[in-house]
Amino acid sequence: MNVEEGIELARYTTLGTGGPARAFARPASEREVEELLPWADERSLAVAVVGLGSNLLVADEGVDALVLKLGGELATIEADEDVLRAGGGASNAVALHRARAAGLGGFEFACAIPGTIGGGVWMNGGAYGGDFAGVLERVLVATAGGTGWLTPAALGLTYRHSELRHGEVVLRAELRLRPRPPDEIKAEVRELNARRKAAQPTNRRTFGSVFKNPRHELSAGRMLEACGLKGHRIGGAQISPKHANFIENADGATTAEALALMAEARRRAHEQFGVTLEHEVEFLGPLELPDL
């Protein structure tokens, strides 16, 4: 299996920031992942996966790990009666397309989530009242110690969270869907996409929601808007003028600039509302927000 050095991760993130991976490989089968994990283990190298990088903030100085990008057999999708079997590297968009073609509903919520199946499991991605926890039947996970199927309960899926840790690779997932006419699916997806376009920046480089919604009457976006942060800019990174819980790469942003905006947003939300916002975006590499 070919392992490359110094691959810049900025091109694998939707924000378009981040430095190089110490080691990078593109496994195309379970066997290749099962070779790579012990390879990293022998070298005491951490392992992380990038999906579509749509929820990732990667350190500018890079990542001291073996970074995997799943492809080939690990990005295939097939429908079998009411089960959709998808590789961890398959995109939600293609999975939804296949589900619709097979007349299977229940995955429509994912039309708004520009990631992969593996990333969706990791984050328990969700939108419009649906989430991965609601459709997952079981998930095939590889670690340096072996490969096995896990139930959703074993994955510990809660709001935008699973118990998965780096070094655990989602190879495949099976989604239990339900029969639904393709035209109905198409109509619902069209409506959800229109709602999304009206409320969020859809043609900008972002990583989706910055913070999880707090236990508060205001969502993170409304709270940051009330703090006067819409359009606030540090270097090339900007809080979206359309939705305050999004950071845009407005002009050659760095990860450090995006992180500085996050720190400022957290500080202001804490000062004004007494709320400690938790980041939804995943950090890769040595990144930390300052204590409040």
Ligand X SMILES: Cc1cc2nc3c(=O)[nH]c(=O)nc-3n(C[C@H](O)[C@H](O)[C@H](O)COP(=O)(O)OP(=O)(O)OC[C@H]3O[C@@H](n4cnc5c(N)ncnc54)[C@H](O)[C@@H]3O)c2cc1C
Strand partners, 63: 21
Q: How far apart are CA 27 and CA 170, in angstroms?
A: 12
Answer yes or no whether residue 48 interacts with ligand X by CB under 6 A: yes
Which member of 22, 100, 160, 172 is catalytic? 160
Among the listed residues 64, 49, 59, the one whose alpha carbon sits nearest the alpha carbon of residue 119: 49
Strand partners, 23: 66
- Residues 238-267 within binding reach of ligand X (CB under 6 A): none
Which member of 209, 240, 266, 282 is catalytic? 209
Q: Minimal distance in Å, beta carbon 161 to ligand X?
A: 11
Which member of 168, 248, 280, 282 is catalytic? 280
Phi, psi of 140 (to 5 degrees): -95, 120
Answer yes or no whether residue 206 interacts with ligand X by CB under 6 A: yes
Among 9, 47, 52, 250, binds ligand X (CB under 6 A): 52
Among the listed residues 265, 249, 257, 258, the one whose alpha carbon sits nearest the alpha carbon of residue 282: 258
| 85 is a catalytic site residue | no
Q: Minimal distance in Å, beta carbon 12 to ligand X?
A: 7
Q: Return the number of the residue (20 or 119) whose C-beta is nearest ligand X.
A: 119
Q: How far apart are CA 25 and CA 33, in angstroms?
A: 9
Q: Minimal distance in Å, beta carbon 104 to ligand X?
A: 20
| 160 is a catalytic site residue | yes
| Range in contact with ligand X (rule: CB under 6 A) among 107-115, 182-190, 231-239, 253-261 | 107-115
Structure tokens at 257: 């600039």
Q: Report yes or no: 239 and 233 within 8 Å, Cβ to Cβ.
A: yes
Answer yes or no whether residue 157 interacts with ligand X by CB under 6 A: no
Residues with a known catalytic role:
160, 209, 280
Query: What residues line the site for ligand X (CB under 6 A)?
Result: 14, 48-56, 70, 88, 112-116, 118-120, 122-123, 125-127, 160, 169-170, 206-208, 282
